[in-house]
Amino acid sequence: MKLIKLITRLLSFLLILNSTVTLSQTQNKPPDRMKMLAAFNGEWKGEMVKVVDSKTLKYKLAHTSEKIAGGWGIQLNEKANIPEKGNYLATRIFSYSSASDSTFMYTIDNFGETWFFTGTWESSKKLVLKSQMELNGKIIEKLIIYQFLNTREYNFKSITRIAGSPDEFVEMIMKRE
């Protein structure tokens, strides 16, 4: 009788342990949407065109990207030499929330700009992100669109508006090395 109780308790413990291990493995696995963000992985080079006050600047840009946080995030490290500004360094961190089916991007650069974007995938190849903040009593809005043309090339567009008026337009064509 004691042996049957012991075996029953042992089997119960093993079942609980197995379900806990299975549950924890499921929770730690990144969602399928992260595979879309993994398209950024690797080394990329391209040209950026920036239009501000009808003045056009062109410069080369490169970034390396990798998975972070066990695949729950992607980190892009960008660098360029911008005419009139000098060396540009920026980091973009992407993540995804299955609770809201939203993609998030946090950016910071060496000029002190910091932004937090929220967006959605309009298709399996198009990510649209938006952010806004207030500065000196004016609302600044940013819209960013990533359009993957294939596994080796994507387009990037950024539109900045201040108090509803266009302020800056940026376009990039990036190619995987």
In tens, the pLDDT along 15-70 reads 554 544 444 445 677 777 788 888 888 999 999 898 888 888 899 999 999 999 88
**Which pLDDT score is estimated for 18?**
54
In tens, the pLDDT along 140-174 reads 999 999 999 998 999 999 999 999 988 999 999 99
Domain ranges (residues) in the chain = 1-30, 33-176
SS3 of residue 110 by DSSP: coil
177 DSSP assignment? -
Q: Which residues of 20-44 are buried (b: 16+ CB within 10 A; e: fewer)?
A: eeeeeeeeeebeebbebbbbbeeeb
Q: Rounded distance, CA 67 to CA 39, Å? A: 10
SS3 of residue 153 by DSSP: strand
Q: How confident is the model at residue 4 (pLDDT cuts 50, 70, 90)?
A: low
In the Cβ-directed half-sphere of 151, how many Cα atoms lie within 13 Å? Answer: 2
Superfamily for domain range 33-176: Calycin beta-barrel core domain (2.40.128.20)
Q: Please return the burial class of 107, using the count of CB atoms within 10 Å of its CB with bins 0-12, 13-18 and 19+.
A: buried
Alpha helix stretches (DSSP H) within the chain: 2-28, 33-37
